Amino acid sequence: MISTNQHMVSSYTNSFIGMDEAITLKKLIANQSIRIENLDVFIEDQHILKNVNLTIPEKSITCIIGPSGCGKSTFLKTLNRMHDESPEVKISGKVFVDDENIYGPHVNVIDTRKKMGLLAQRPCPLPMSIFDNVAYGPRIHGIKKRKAINQTVIQYLQYVGLWDEVRDRVRKSATRLSIGQQQRLCLARGLAIEPEYILGDEATSALDPLSTKKIEALFVKLKEKYTIILVTHTLRQAKRIADHIIFMYLGKIIEAGPTEEFFNNPKKQLTRDYLSGSFS
Amino acid sequence: MRRLRAAKDKAARYLMLGIGIFTILLLLVIGLSLFFKALPIMREKNLWVLLSSADWKPFKGDFGFLPFILSTFYVSLIAIIIALPFSILTSIYLNSYASKNVRRFFEPVIDLLSGIPPVIYGVWGTLTIVPLIANKIAPRFVEFSSGYTILAGGVVLAVMIIPLLISIMVEVFRSIPKEMTDASLSMGATKWQTVKKVILRKSISGIIAATVLALSRAFGETMAVLMVCGNTAKIPHSIFDAGYPLPALIANNYGEMLSMPSYESALMLSAFLLFIIVVLFNGLSRFTLNQIERRYQF
């Protein structure tokens, strides 16, 4: 409990200091990553994830690939406990985030979610202005000082390259932005809660090629400070930006490894078939 | 053959257009016929005097509508003030917190409530609400109250419009995309924060629309209100005074006024007033909704 409090305090001091100092601070706090042991997920009577064991390397991009319905998105949701919202989902096993089992008895789900910035499949701005969208995270976590919030909002809008595009209309509704801009806004909004991890659930599948490129470039830039886990349905995207690949099929992890090795020298027949396009 | 099909197509189209126009005309016809029936009394007396006078002595020829207009507004206002928080909180609970089983139990029951005939609510109001006000609530504030009051009318009316409000609002909240609430929750917002900052904000125009619908219903509700309101043609000075809303006036006196032409015309005027109130109110709220949506295009 003490350590999470410390974490909250220090991550919010980030708002008052520059981005670079923030990075070093974050490095001191977060040298841990995600470790999953014997994870099983059932939705009603269906066994969706089957005995998943996995370690996700920190400060890099891990892409989860596999045919639709293989459990990629379900897996992602177990990491920020979004399954809590659906009572029909049953989860067993352990997910260690920073050496703490987030399914343990004394874990506060809010602290867990605050560590995970989520980027959904379709950008979904909240029903408020551009500014308030980014300020949403800091505000719900109790930041009241206007100056600190202003600074955070500008900092992250700049970071995702949106500030120059929206600076004269930050007080206007976010829904009037283009869909690519909306997705960058959602990324800024996620970053503003000062997470340690970024989860992307097919975050570029609704975007045009140019916006996709911008988001991918941001992911590559972000991996210096964050551990990034992306579900993707395009192999080419995984090839372009991933450092590690996890291949899932029917709820099981078939193969996992560094990108180059995975694509050039897959070990399992199933992986070879998938990569050659025998099924998708 | 082909020509026949085309002709049928055309015929169907114009038939439906005709029926549509007829429905709209009906509104106009009702409004106009009320207006013409009310015309004699408006010729006889100054309209402003009719609307602003509190003297209601039909047999002396005094027709002041102010007590009825005020009662209508007061009763409806109290009803909506009581009903809104109830229904907003209930629908939020059903939408965001309740389990599937709870919802499966609640929703049919609420639909059932809105199907109960008004006269039953009236009887219930007479048996419970009126004595409650007369014996328990009113003595704390005023010296004497019979219980047949504006407040009783408001409470009974509130109970009647709550199911309507809930069933509309549940639909309004349900129409909010799950991605949106998920976006808020995934940032570590609590459910309550999500409700306050996202759900309510997103559904503000829906809530207003539901309120308008409920108020329109409240303005026109006759039987239940008539049974508990006291029906005294005086301006109510507090919620513990008796009131006499327009629909109750019409229902109570229609039939016995046939011998007096000006009385009949006066009652027609009260019906016309009610009609105008509801139409104006709907138009006004539509305008406000447009303004709100234009200003906060979220």
CA neighbor of A225 nearest in space, from A7, A56, A21, A10? A21
Cβ separation B188–A136 shorter than 8 A? no
Q: Any idea which of A66-70, A146-150, B75-79, B291-295 has the lowest mean pLDDT? A: B291-295
Average pLDDT over residues B170-199: 93
For B55-100, how does the pLDDT look when each residue is reduced to its tens digit (9 = 90+)? 888 888 888 999 999 999 999 999 999 999 999 999 999 999 998 8
CA closest to B191 among chain A residues: A85
Is residue B128 one of the residues assigned to a domain? yes
Average pLDDT over residues A228-248: 92
Cβ separation B179–A127 shorter than 8 A? no
- Give the DSSP letter string of A211-280: HHHHHHHHHHHHTTTSEEEEE-S-HHHHHHH-SEEEEEETTEEEEEEEHHHHHHS--SHHHHHHHTTS--
Residue A81 sits at the chain B interface (C-beta within 8 Å) = no
Give the per-residue pLDDT at B296. Answer: 61
* Look-up of token digits 């005086």: B234
Instruction: Label residue B261 by pLDDT band (50, 70, 90).
Output: confident
From its phi and psi, is residue A70 left (phi > 0), alpha (psi between -120 and 50) or beta? alpha
Asked if residue A93 lies in contact with residue A274, where contact means CB atoms within 8 angstroms, the answer is no
Considering only CB atoms, B185 lies closest to which of A85, A117, A122, namely A85
Give the per-residue pLDDT at B70. Answer: 93
Is residue B24 one of the residues assigned to a domain? no
SS3 of B64-129: CCHHHHHHHHHHHHHHHHHHHHHHHHHHHHHHHHCCHHHHHHHHHHHHHHHHCCHHHHHHHHHHHH
Is residue B119 one of the residues assigned to a domain? yes
- Confidence check: pLDDT of B24 > 60: yes
- Confidence check: pLDDT of A19 > 60: no
Considering only CB atoms, A173 lies closest to which of B100, B189, B297, namely B297
Give the per-residue pLDDT at B284. Answer: 86
Instruction: Label residue A7 by pLDDT band (50, 70, 90).
Output: very low
| CATH code of residue B126 | 1.10.3720.10
User: What was the ipTM of the complex prediction?
Assistant: 0.83
- Confidence check: pLDDT of A280 > 70: no
Instruction: Label residue B297 by pLDDT band (50, 70, 90).
Output: low
Which DSSP state fits A83?
Answer: G
- Confidence check: pLDDT of A10 > 70: no
Strand A34-43 relative to strand B56-57, pairing: unpaired
Q: Specify the number of domains making up chain B.
A: 1
Is residue B208 one of the residues assigned to a domain? yes
- Confidence check: pLDDT of B159 > 90: yes
Give the per-residue pLDDT at A176. Answer: 87
Query: Higher pLDDT residue, A279 or B219?
Result: B219
Q: Any idea which of A22-36, A157-171, B142-156, B262-276 has the lowest mean pLDDT? A: A22-36
Per the prediction, chain A carries an average pLDDT of 86
The rounded distance, in Å, linking the Cα atoms of B269 and B282 is 20
- Confidence check: pLDDT of B205 > 90: no
- Looking at beta carbons, which residues of chain B come within 8 Å of A117? 187
- Looking at beta carbons, which residues of chain B come within 8 Å of A128? 197, 201, 298
Asked if residue B94 lies in contact with residue B170, where contact means CB atoms within 8 angstroms, the answer is yes
Domain that holds residue B207: 56-295
- Chain B interface, best mutation among A44, A112, A124, by max B CB count within 10 A: A124
Give the per-residue pLDDT at A33. Answer: 84
Q: A38: Cβ–Cβ under 8 A, 6 or more apart, which residues?
A: A51, A52, A53, A92, A93, A94
Q: Any idea which of A40-49, A178-187, B249-258 has the lowest mean pLDDT? A: B249-258
Instruction: Label residue B254 by pLDDT band (50, 70, 90).
Output: confident
Give the per-residue pLDDT at B109. Answer: 92
Considering only CB atoms, B201 lies closest to which of A111, A128, A140, namely A128
Distance (Å) from the C-alpha of residue A13 to the closest C-alpha of chain B? Answer: 18
Is residue B14 one of the residues assigned to a domain? no
- Confidence check: pLDDT of A113 > 80: yes
* Residues of chain A above pLDDT 90, percent: 66
Considering only CB atoms, B183 lies closest to which of A111, A116, A124, namely A124
Asked if residue B241 lies in contact with residue B146, where contact means CB atoms within 8 angstroms, the answer is no
- Confidence check: pLDDT of B193 > 80: yes
Is residue B18 one of the residues assigned to a domain? no
Per the prediction, chain B carries an average pLDDT of 90
Is residue B46 one of the residues assigned to a domain? no
CA neighbor of A182 nearest in space, from A143, A146, A214? A214
- Confidence check: pLDDT of B225 > 50: yes
- Give the DSSP letter string of A131-199: HHHHHHHHHHTT---HHHHHHHHHHHHHHTT-HHHHGGGTTSBGGGS-HHHHHHHHHHHHHTT--SEEE
The rounded distance, in Å, linking the Cα atoms of A124 and B183 is 7
Give the per-residue pLDDT at B47. Answer: 87
Give the per-residue pLDDT at B15. Answer: 95
Asked if residue A253 lies in contact with residue A54, where contact means CB atoms within 8 angstroms, the answer is yes
For A43-87, how does the pLDDT look when each residue is reduced to its tens digit (9 = 90+)? 998 999 999 998 898 899 999 999 988 889 999 999 999 998 888
* Beta-ladder partners of A101: A96
Average pLDDT over residues A128-140: 94
The rounded distance, in Å, linking the Cα atoms of B289 and B172 is 15
Give the per-residue pLDDT at A11. Answer: 41
Cβ separation B182–A137 shorter than 8 A? no
Is residue B22 one of the residues assigned to a domain? no
Give the per-residue pLDDT at A23. Answer: 43
Helix (H) / strand (E) element for B16: namely helix B2-44
Residue A141 sits at the chain B interface (C-beta within 8 Å) = yes
